[in-house]
A and B are shown apart, each in its own frame.
Chain A
Amino acid sequence: MNTAADILFGGLFQGSLYAMMAVGLALVWTTIGVFNFSHGVLMMLGAYVAWQLGAWGLPPFAAFPLAVVLTAGAGWLLQATVVRPLIGRANLVLVVVITTLAAGSLIENGALVVWGPRAKQVPPLLDGNVMIGGIGVSLHQIAIIVVTPVILCALWLFLNRTRLGLALRAVAQNEDASRLVGLNVTVLYALAFGIAAALAALAGIFLGGYRFMTPVMGADPLLKALIVVVFGGISSISGPIFAAYVIGFFEAVCSYYFGLYWTPALLFAALILTLMVRPEGLFSTGRARGLA
């Protein structure tokens, strides 16, 4: 009973965090066709901005949404400076990898200068602990497990049921045609990046309330999000969400039975096997964006 609860809880918790990160990556990939390697840094930025607002005296319920909005602004700015000017270049994917990596390094070291290397923590969403199924868990983690699916559902509804969301998906599927029917592609690019950055900031705030934060805290979540999108296929939003939870559970099971050291190795072995069998991802629908 204890084992099952441990694995179930660990899988749900990790899966939620991975899903928040991976969806942002997938959104940018499907809309703009680039991979944002500063996504992890945006997550770190969100957590630090939330901490800073809290340090200035704002209560969490005001500081957290404001931090999310500010980070979305940072994402928009990032897109306007290091991604949009490059659209149309022959080796766009590669060049954006390096510009987002460089921009990430810029923000990361900037955070180090502004906030210093000392570990900080943002207040948890909810204080206190409860016993469920024989294990003690914090309410903060439970809040994350409950809030994440709600946010992801809202995103899914936005993308599938609103005109703006449909416009985003239209750009993802056929940019030229979207332009022809009068969609403002530039604004939609900015919107996709902003939403992705907002989701990253939320993940950062979630993680910052659970673990100590450092300027390099985004590196590992970014890596995991990359794995998630490979597993799930990057042509859709729902694929990575399912994959995030699959990987969360995979990690929970592996670290329970094989220990923490071997978990990443097993994860990557599974990743490479998946790609050899299904190069377009486990949950892909087959209409991938270009694959280029």
Chain B
Amino acid sequence: MTAARLEDEEAISPASLAGVPRAPGRVSWRREAAAMAVGFALLALAPFVFADSYSRHVLIMVFIYAIVASNWDLSLGYGGVFNFGHIALFGIGVYAYSLLTKLAAMDPWIAMAASGVIAVVAAVVVTIPILRLKGIYIVLVTFGFAQLVMQVILSQSDYTGGTQGLVRIPGLYVFDHNMVRDAKFAYFYIAFGLLVLSTIFLRLFVRSRTGISVVALRDNEEYAVSRGISLVRQRLITLAASAFFTGVAGAFYAAYQRNASVEVFGMSLATIVLSMVLLGGTGTIYGAIVASFVLTIFSEAMADFGAWRPIITALLILAVMLAYPGGIVGMLRSGWTGFAGLSKRAK
């Protein structure tokens, strides 16, 4: 609804908005919804093209990464909050689901939703100390938060399995459907459904008035505050909003892999997902999703290179970051501008 109202405002005063730089809510929401529907419809056909369980597994991992990375983009790209504890929210989802289903024998689907809520609570807890902080200090505190959660999980090994991790975590179920013998057909669509819900949620959020006020705070904090936007409230809302689907993705990951270890809190996972966010281009949501596809499939394609794989991946990240500050989306955009300019000149 809010998006529709914005649309009207744009229609009333196009001249006053013409000079405004690209910001959320600039592309007509109808066009965006149509493009999104086409994109996701094509993606929904993937299991019929890839019938083997390996390709489907790669796509499921892409979807999980895409959810985590695009939600990270909300706090990092739109909110401008350098939240390095985002991966910890994912890990919290993993462990919340595992413990709820294993120890409390909760229904897997309810546990998955509960994991999202627990991740939101954790996000609120980590946001409180960073409300007064800026820039690099936020990086350090949120980084510390992630390590703290990991240490607590390691130390409570009676429940969490410590360094051994947890195994035989209950998986998801769909009526009486056999989840194991369908070449990951059902898991593909569950992961896909989560990505669709998460993406719609994120785009609605960033196009809403709240989303725009968050961007205003990022771009000019003093001015935004003077116009009556509450930094504390918006920062809490942003972090909490970015946590829910991240926690759910963690729960899904645990249900899908059926084991959990503290590696989900490690630097290597954080580096990969962060590079997806930055490689895609921050403040777009879609960029992070595209980069998840590119990086995951690229990394899988190089499985034969062994120890050289992380080296090549690192080189790729460096090359894109040095050449294209706007990430993949910036690369596509500048390519498009160049193409448009050429075709104009041709006329």
Interface residues of A (CB under 8 A from B): 29, 35, 81-82, 85-86, 89, 91, 93-95, 97-99, 101-103, 105-106, 109-110, 112-113, 219, 223, 226-227, 229-230, 234, 261-262, 264-265, 268-269, 271-272, 275-276, 279, 290-292
Contacts and interface: CB of A to CB of B under 8 A. Distances in A.
Contacts of A113: 307-308, 311
B180 interface: no
Nearest to B132: A279
Given A98-B278, A264-B151, A93 B271 contact: no
Contact of B317 (A89, A98, A229): A98
Interface in B120-153: 129, 132-137, 139-141, 143-145, 147-148, 151-152
Across the A-B interface, the 5 shortest Cβ-Cβ residue pairs: A268-B148, A106-B314, A261-B155, A102-B317, A264-B151
Nearest to B137: A279
Contacts of B338: none
A272 B133 CA distance: 11
Contact of B144 (A29, A261, A271): A271
A268 B88 CA distance: 15
Nearest to A91: B282
B interface: dominant SS:
helix
Contacts of B155: 261-262, 265
B193 interface: no
Among A86, A112, A219, A268: residue with most chain B CB under 10 A: A268
B148 A94 contact: no
B340 interface: no
A interface: dominant SS:
helix
Contacts of A97: 82, 139, 274
Contacts of B325: 86, 89, 95
Interface residues of B, number: 40
A272 B141 contact: yes
Interface in B298-321: 307-308, 310-311, 313-315, 317-318, 321
B36 interface: no
Given A98-B278, A105-B310, A272-B129, A93 B136 contact: yes
Given A95-B278, A227-B144, A264-B151, A291 B271 contact: no
B147 A109 contact: no
A268 B314 contact: no
B134 A230 contact: no
Nearest to A116: B307
A95 B324 CA distance: 11
Contact of B143 (A95, A219, A226, A262): A226
Given A94-B82, A268-B147, A268-B151, A102 B141 contact: no
Given A99-B317, A268-B151, A271-B141, 7 more contacts: A35-B136, A101-B275, A102-B314, A105-B271, A106-B315, A109-B310, A272-B145
A234 B308 contact: no
Contacts of B15: none
Contact of B318 (A106, A262, A268, A269): A106
Contact of B275 (A81, A98, A261, A291): A98
A99 B322 contact: yes
B267 interface: yes
B326 to A, nearest CB: 10
B163 to A, nearest CB: 11
Contacts of A265: 148, 151-152, 155
